[in-house]
Amino acid sequence: MCGILAVLGAADWSQAKRAHILSCSRRLKHRGPDWSGLYQCEGNFLAQQRLAIVSPLSGDQPLYNADRTIVVVANGEIYNHKKIRKQFASKHTFSTGSDCEVIIPLYEEYGEDFVDMLDGVFAFVLYDTRTKTYMAARDAIGVNPLYIGRGSDGAVWISSEMKALNEDCVEFEIFPPGHLYSSAAGGLRRWYKPQWFAENVPATPYQPLLLREAFEKAVIKRLMTDVPFGVLLSGGLDSSLVAAVTKRHLIKTEAAEKFGAELHSFVVGLEGSPDLIAAREVADHLGTIHHEFHFTVQDGIDAIEEVIYHDETYDVTTIRASTPMFLMARKIKALGVKMVLSGEGSDELLGGYLYFHFAPNKEEFHKETCRKVKALHQYDCLRANKATSAWGLEVRVPFLDKEFINVAMSMDPEWKMYNADLGRIEKWVMRKAFDDEEHPYLPKHILYRQKEQFSDGVGYNWIDGLKAFTEQQVSDEMMKNAAKVYPHNTPVNKEAYYYRMIFERLFPQESARETVPWGPSIACSTPAAIEWVEQWKASHDPSGRLIASHNSASANHTNHANANANGNSNGKANCNCAMAANGTNGVGLVVANGTANGKMEA
């Protein structure tokens, strides 16, 4: 990942202004420690901090066309850049090996209507000196972060992270995913317009081989690298499939020619945590060079302020999950690795969170997946990108490949739904697609392992430790006055209050606090899904922990592996588990805060 900052239409062109913008750009240096550059034309400034992944010996930014009339700064990975280079080989003289340089000939050929031709993730700003106009764009789902604001002089500021512009803008906001900003047209417009965006329920039958092929292609294209890389491996379905597909196809890639066919895998957790155990088993099966990192609850607590600074959020779930990832990223970078693949996005696309078991019908199930995917840029994409780029480590997420998204979201949602009578657990469609008897990707008991929340998988004591710590830091009196102190997105518990205090100290602007999503949630649900179960409405904690019978639920899922492969089972997966925001209730109940309000059976 790189960091970009653009200031366009500034009233001040002085050397002092240039020095100030350079200073602002350096706040993004963690994202790109390898090089920096700044272009200035009158009151227009384009700056970049580079993390060199593709063509590290060239590709420094800003990027230019032959006569230097078009200038680009970008944070992106364009996976079809070689195809585009061939398309323009006779028309455009490429001066670097950067994958992002293809943005320039596309603009010269098609004007602003080229963004959908890019296959990858990106955030970029392009300035045309001939027309004195500029455009900016962000990838379809918002894997790469971007913010936009306006200075007191009317200048437009665009930055990879809020911290580079928050002190200079009178107002700012998240640059919406799948949009482009055009100074010529005078505003934002959506370029990403997939059919699923309308949230109409699709009717395409489940095609396991199509789903598998789309995912394999998504992984393979993300092996485009000129630096050492690895995979994040928790031992759950998503990361295990990423690792298995990477291992299977690595030998045939250019990356293998440069760095060999050995695959490095990484996991983080408290001593004895579920992820450490499961990841080791998967790593042993795949034959990866496995790296296991341990942290303590105190290590995590000590890192909270840094995590909030880098993540730029006060969302409780995001901070809980970001902290172990933040600690792990530092260790990975210390080993000389600059890029990793990860499994974010699967749960949103396929309804993999355990609360999806309670969707009342396929219409609600599909609408919730749509809502979740649309909001990824404020949650898991933000976490994965910022927690790792804090240490100059790039994360690539094959589940959020545009083509894979199209395949996954065009499927009749009936196939994605939990159905105990048919032996279908969460993400059954993905498990079935990769359940290859002849050439297995993973052993069945791993392929059908129940989902863990990331912040739970690293060790159950992590969440308990956070709650105990923040309970000591925030008094009851402070909570009584929470609505007066924080009228916008008022914290509902002491953990949320503690994170909010740190955030407000780092980012005190009204615009900053408005960039953070808020609302009730159970197990990562949207507020709309809270309506599915009456008891969930009482929760003030977003935890997705399965209490009391988590192990038995997981065992049930494993025992159904063979039945799942055939699409039939006489048993009930997860029939005796409880979903809770917090607590230790018995079995068979959907509860919030450990209290079974009304005896609702799961």
pLDDT in tens, 369-399: 999 999 999 999 999 999 999 999 999 999 9
Question: Is 2 assigned a catalytic role?
Answer: yes
d(CA 511, CA 502): 16
Q: Which of 499, 500, 547 is nearest to 523 (CA)?
A: 547
Q: What's residue 453's pLDDT? A: 56
pLDDT at 189 over 90: yes
Helix 208-221 vs helix 237-249: crossing angle, to nearest 10: 70
Cα angle, residue 239 at apex, residues 560 and 398 outer, rounded to 5°: 120
Contacting residues for 321 by C-beta, under 8 A, at least 6 apart:
383, 453, 454, 455
Binding-site annotation, residues for L-glutamine: 99
Which residues make Cβ contacts (< 8 Å) with residue 487, sequence separation at least 6?
A: none
- Whether residue 147 contacts residue 88, with contact meaning beta carbons closer than 8 Å, is answered with no
Residue 416 has pLDDT above 70, yes or no: yes
Query: Could you give the CA distance from residue 361 to residue 558 in angstroms, rounded to a whole number?
Result: 26
Q: For residue 334, with 0-12 CB atoms within 10 Å meaning exposed, 13-18 middle and 19 or more buried, which class applies?
A: exposed
User: pLDDT grade, residue 559 (50/70/90)?
Assistant: very low
Residue ranges for the known binding site are 99, 232, 268, 342-343
pTM: 0.90
Which of 260-264, 552-556, 580-584 has the lowest average pLDDT? 580-584
The Cβ of residue 437 has, within 10 Å, a number of other Cβ atoms equal to 7
CB proximity list for 369: less than 8 A, separation 6 or greater: 348, 349, 350, 351, 409, 413, 416
Mean pLDDT, rounded, for 19-35: 97
Is a pLDDT exceeding 70 seen at residue 598?
no
Question: ∠ CA 460-461-463 to the nearest 5 degrees?
Answer: 80
Helices 380-389 and 316-334: crossing angle in degrees, nearest 10, is 30
Which of the pair, 73 or 580, is modelled with greater confidence?
73
With CA atoms as reference, report the closest residue to 366 among 416, 331, 402.
416
Does residue 431 surpass a pLDDT of 50? yes
User: Which ranges of 260-313 would DSSP assign to H, the alpha helix?
Assistant: 274-286, 297-311
Q: Which domains does the chain have, with CATH numbers?
A: 3-193 (3.60.20.10), 198-579 (3.40.50.620)
User: Is 62 a residue whose pLDDT tops 90?
Assistant: yes
For residue range 230-255, list pLDDT tens digits in order. 999 999 999 999 999 999 999 999 98
How far, in Å, CA of 96 to CA of 3, rounded?
Answer: 19
The per-residue pLDDT for 522 is: 81
Instruction: Check whether 549 has a pLDDT greater than 80.
Output: no
Q: Which residues are annotated as a binding site for ATP?
A: 232, 268, 342-343
Query: What pLDDT is recorded for position 540?
Result: 64
pLDDT at 545 over 80: no
Nearest to 517 by CA among 530, 527, 505: 527
Q: What is the mean pLDDT of residues 244-273?
A: 94
Residue 32 has pLDDT above 90, yes or no: yes
Residue 460: band (very low, low, confident or very high) from pLDDT cuts 50, 70, 90:
confident
| pLDDT mean over 203-212 | 97
Q: Do 50 and 30 meet the contact criterion of CB atoms below 8 Å apart?
A: no
- Better pLDDT: 524 or 488: 488
Identify which has the larger pLDDT, 522 or 30: 30
| Beta strands 156-159 and 70-78, pairing class | unpaired
CA-wise closest residue to 593 among 581, 578, 602: 581
Q: Number of helices and strands (H, E) in the chain? A: 23, 19
Task: Determine which one of 2, 169, 370, 524 is catalytic.
Answer: 2
Structure tokens at 178: 């799948």
Rg of the Cα trace of the chain?
24
State yes or no: pLDDT of 600 exceeds 60. Answer: no
Sheet bearing 147-151, strands edge to edge: 35-41, 44-50, 3-8, 156-159, 147-151, 169-174
Nearest to 182 by CA among 258, 115, 90: 115
